[in-house]
């Protein structure tokens, strides 16, 4: 990703897919040349968790979307650990 327009188009396309459209939260972040972008999608603080991990890695142009479906159990503060786990999977696989 190199621009905010590309990022927005990507997220919009992703969220149109039936599986992701039914998700409770699609949180994301990306580091662009003109600055960082993030969205919590109702999961307060989750976008910042993703963004900080991208900044630590110095990883520009990679959008990371963490999708979560509510399964009946409230995660509380543990939700941030799950977001970090998902981002780590991506970072280790690249």
Q: Could you give the CA distance from residue 54 to residue 64 in angstroms, rounded to a whole number?
A: 9
- Strand (E) positions, 1-94? 25-32, 35-39, 64-68
Domain ranges of the chain: 4-93
Instruction: Indicate if the alpha-carbon torsion angle 28, 94, 3, 20 is positive or negative.
Output: negative
- pLDDT of 1 > 60? The answer is no
What class has domain 4-93?
A: alpha beta
What is the pLDDT, as a whole number, of residue 89? Answer: 96
Question: pTM for the whole thing?
Answer: 0.84
Q: Could you give the CA distance from residue 37 to residue 70 in angstroms, rounded to a whole number?
A: 25
Instruction: Give, in degrees to the nearest 5, the angle at Cα 73 between 27 and 76.
Output: 60
Average pLDDT over residues 5-9: 80
| Tens-place pLDDT, residues 12-60 | 887 888 777 788 888 999 999 889 999 998 888 999 999 999 999 999 9
| Tens-place pLDDT, residues 54-81 | 999 999 999 999 998 887 777 777 888 9
Average pLDDT over residues 79-85: 91
């Amino acid at each position: 990703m190199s621009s905010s327009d590309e990022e927005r188009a990507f997220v919009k396309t992703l969220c149109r897919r039936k599986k992701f459209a039914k998700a409770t939260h699609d949180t994301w972040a990306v580091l662009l040349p003109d600055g960082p972008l993030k969205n919590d999608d109702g999961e307060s603080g989750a976008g910042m968790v993703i963004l900080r991990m991208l900044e630590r890695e110095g990883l520009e142009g990679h959008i990371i979307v963490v999708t979560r479906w509510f399964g009946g159990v409230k995660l509380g503060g543990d939700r941030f650990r799950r977001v970090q786990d998902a981002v780590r999977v991506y970072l280790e696989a690249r």
